[in-house]
Amino acid sequence: MPLDALSQVLAEIKARPGPPVMSSAVDMARRRIAIECDDRGLFDEFFTMFGAPEPMAGPAGGQADMHLRIHSQTGCDFGWFHLGGADTLPLDGMEFQFSVTLDTGLFENFEQPDPGWTCFAFRGAKQPAFAFSGRDCLFLLEPRWRSNVMWLLFWRLLRVRADAIFFHASALGMDGQGTMLVGPSGGGKSTMSLALAARGHNFLSDEVAAYEPASGQLCPFRRPVGIKPGPRSDAVEKGLSVENREKISRDGFVRFDISALFPVEDAQPVPLRNIVFLRGFADTPSLSRISPGRNEIGELQPLMSSFLNASHAKRIFELTRLLSASNVYELRLGNPDETAAYLERAIA
């Protein structure tokens, strides 16, 4: 396809009768996302990313904040989606900007002569992975296209929530107090949040925490939980079938609906009161109160999307205020169930 023909490709795709579609919708971070698509496989990715229910035949009904109509069976190298719904932010690919500017980022700007289009390509590629014009997007139909579209939608959701800061952290409510568990990948965030959820606590998220500075609340961001090989609570172990344990050992990381592991209540927003930095593992758990400083601001790990919709100065002020208004701790983890029981007593 000549690179000056994006508008022609879009017009031809729109003019072609589309195949029957399926649809699904989910509420996430106080926003509703609805998808219509002609590809069944996309809905597996929709579940993995957002916990969306099984698709139904036909178009999505009702109102949505983000409503994607996706066509993949186009007969050319590109699929197409149209973004509708209450979301009025420009569909301009700003979600990729941090990836473009980072030396290790996956994307780069892609210059082409067709006016009115903004394009991004995987680094070194010879054609765009995403091309945006108005509320339409052409995306390259390569093997990763389903996950590519879902990641774009994920970062889009975080960008739309300009009133929230998102952290690489687990979040839950304990006795009405919001608690955020912060640590590096493999540091035990998911293991601990699941162990606490199994004890009846208000499970909000296992790896992305959503904080609203104006209200001081943690809001639910409950996606399918990720489980890796290694220590896990007795309740999680009992909730996993032999087949799923083998799948985790084989694949190294598998996502599950938490309600398939053990009973949980619907997630409810809670005021953030405690921030717990995970500091590695020990034979027995230990918790100590600390006075946070500059290092802890860096360790909070706000996701880059939180700086797309607000100035750095505003976000740094909000992070500083967040730490000063919270009880801040360091935790060394032991056995998951022992640590959960210990943390309950210590936080209370």
Q: What is the pLDDT of residues 99-157, one digit of tens each?
A: 888 777 889 999 877 778 999 999 999 889 999 999 999 999 999 999 999 999 999 99
Which residues, in sequence order, are CB contacts of 295 under 8 Å at separation 6+?
none
User: Average model confidence (pLDDT) for the chain?
Assistant: 92
Q: Tell me how crowded residue 98 is: count the other CB atoms within 10 A of its CB.
A: 16
Task: Give the end of a domain, one of 116, 138, 160.
Answer: 160
119 and 205: one domain? no
147 and 169: one domain? no
Task: Give the end of a domain, one of 129, 160, 191.
Answer: 160
332 and 235: one domain? yes
Q: Which residues constitute the domain of residue 123?
A: 6-160
Mean pLDDT to the nearest integer, 277-291: 95
82 and 119: one domain? yes
The residue whose two tokens read 């007593």 is: 345
105 and 249: one domain? no
Confidence of residue 174 (pLDDT cuts 50, 70, 90): very high
Task: Give the end of a domain, one of 160, 182, 207.
Answer: 160
Q: What is the pLDDT of residues 198-231, one digit of tens each?
A: 999 999 999 999 999 999 999 999 999 999 999 9
- One-letter amino acid at 336 equals P
Residue 3 has pLDDT above 60, yes or no: no
Task: Count structural domains, the chain.
Answer: 2
Tokens for 141, please give them. Answer: 């139909």
Confidence of residue 325 (pLDDT cuts 50, 70, 90): very high
What CATH code is carried by the domain that includes residue 240?
3.40.50
Is residue 215 included in any domain, yes or no? yes
122 and 189: one domain? no
What span, in angstroms and rounded, lies between the C-alpha atoms of 210 and 231?
A: 26
Tokens for 338, please give them. Answer: 């022992």
Dihedral of the CA atoms 270, 35, 58, 255 (nearest 10)?
-70
Q: Rounded to the nearest 5 degrees, what angle is found at the Cα of 87, between the Cα atoms of 222 and 301?
A: 45
116 and 58: one domain? yes
Please give the model's pTM, rounded to 2 decimal places: 0.92
Percent of the chain beyond pLDDT 70?
Answer: 99
